């Protein structure tokens, strides 16, 4: 699989119409990955899709899947999403009992391994294990719901993680998720993010395709400037 280059725009299907999923997946064909928010009503106070739904999304999506697991016990459940064929599987540091072993298992199955941290979780906890991951997700809202406001206070943590990865010569992607829009994407790109999840800003737009292109242009311009 040839993976797309940065900046990557990953629309979140949490903002899609769940009974018109095939149509709403087709609408994001010009994006890089379809971001799939799996929530279990334990790790976060919301419930979305499980493996069977994600398997159908995988079979239907014109672009690869970027699965974001907001669940307890990812050590038990995450490999199943890699086995379905998700290009990328991201689990939360706060929920994993052995994040390094789980990342290795995901990579062995053939997925990109991602680690996510909530706004209140320090970035330093990832410094020593950065090379075990293909993607670090710095949450820019409290996980659980689409349509929340971007938390700019997470940007110093992102910046520090990006410079730590450069210092260690680790080629991890840096993803932001939550409140990403035309008004906020430049801040995240300047802080070093290269992969941007956007739910309401994409599916809430009059033209989904124009929204994706607009976000990509802004991110590109901001990362060139920084
Ligand atoms: C929130 C999810 C996000 C959500 C983003 O917990 O992880 O992926 O869909 O939605 P927006 O872009 O609307 O903030
Ligand atoms: Zn997400």
Residue 3 counted as domain residue: no
Q: Which atom of ligand 1 is nearest to the CA of 12?
A: 9
Total domains present in the chain = 1
Structure confidence by residue, pLDDT tens digits, 68-93: 999 999 999 999 999 999 999 999 99
Residue 174's pLDDT band, with cuts at 50, 70 and 90, is very high
Whether omega for the bond prior to residue 8 falls within 30 degrees of 0, making it cis, is no
Residue 1 within a domain: no
| 164 in any annotated domain | yes
63: phi then psi, degrees, rounded to nearest 5: -130, 160
CA distance 81 to 103: 13
Task: Note whether residue 124 is domain-resident.
Answer: yes
Q: Give the separation between CA 89 and CA 60, rounded to whole angstroms.
A: 18
**Whole-model pTM?**
0.98
Token representation of residue 4: 């797309």
Whether 73 is covered by a domain: the verdict is yes
In a domain, 188, yes or no: yes
Residue among 22, 62, 70 nearest 46 (CA): 70
Name the pLDDT band for 5 (thresholds 50, 70, 90): confident
- For residue 224, the model assigns a pLDDT of 85
User: What is the extent of the structural domain holding 62?
Assistant: 8-225
Cα distance between residue 89 and residue 156, in whole Å? 25
Which pLDDT tens digit goes with each residue over 87-144?
A: 999 999 999 999 999 999 999 999 999 999 999 999 999 999 999 999 999 999 999 9
- CA dist 63 to 26, 97, 119, 149, 221, Å? 9, 31, 28, 27, 24
Structure confidence at residue 74 (pLDDT) = 98
Q: What's the pLDDT score for residue 225?
A: 83
Which residues contact ligand 1 via a Cβ below 6 A? 12, 14-15, 35, 37, 68, 141, 143-148, 177-180, 197-201
Distance CA 50, CA 145 (A): 16
pLDDT, position 3 = 76
Structure tokens at 225: 């400037």
Residue 117 lies in a domain: yes
CATH code of the domain containing 20: 3.20.20.70
Angle between helices 51-60 and 74-84 (to 10 degrees): 30
DSSP 120-156: TS-GGGGGGGGGG-SEEEEESS-TT-SSPPP-GGGHH
> Is 119 in contact with 141 (CB distance < 8 Å)?
yes
37 as an active site residue: the answer is: yes
DSSP state at residue 98? S
For residue 114, the model assigns a pLDDT of 99
Read off the pLDDT band of 1 (50, 70, 90).
low
- Point out the catalytic residue in the list 24, 32, 66, 177: 177
CA distance 203 to 93: 28
Average pLDDT over residues 153-182: 98
Q: Which atom of ligand 1 is nearest the CA belonging to 139? A: 7
Assess if residue 30 is contained within a domain. yes
């Amino acid at each position: 699989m040839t993976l797309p280059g940065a900046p990557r725009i990953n629309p979140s299907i949490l903002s899609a119409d769940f009974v018109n999923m095939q149509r709403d997946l087709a609408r994001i064909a010009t994006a890089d990955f379809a971001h799939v928010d799996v929530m279990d009503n334990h790790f976060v106070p919301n419930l979305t899709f499980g493996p069977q739904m994600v398997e159908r999304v995988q079979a239907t999506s014109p672009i690869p899947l970027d699965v974001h697991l907001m669940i307890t016990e990812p050590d038990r459940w995450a490999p199943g999403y890699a086995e379905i064929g998700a290009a990328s599987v991201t689990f939360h540091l706060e929920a994993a009992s052995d994040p390094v072993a789980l990342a290795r298992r995901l990579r062995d199955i053939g997925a990109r391994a991602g680690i996510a941290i909530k706004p209140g979780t320090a970035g330093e906890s990832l410094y020593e294990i950065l090379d075990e991951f293909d993607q670090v997700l710095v949450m820019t809202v409290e996980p659980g719901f689409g349509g929340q406001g971007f938390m700019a206070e997470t940007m110093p943590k992102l910046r520090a993680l990006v410079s730590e990865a450069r210092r260690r010569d680790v080629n991890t992607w840096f993803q932001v998720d939550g409140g990403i829009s035309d008004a906020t994407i430049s801040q995240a790109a300047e802080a070093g993010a290269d992969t941007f999840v956007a739910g309401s800003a994409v599916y809430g737009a009059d033209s989904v395709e124009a929204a994706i292109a607009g976000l990509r242009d802004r991110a590109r311009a901001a990362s060139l400037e920084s």
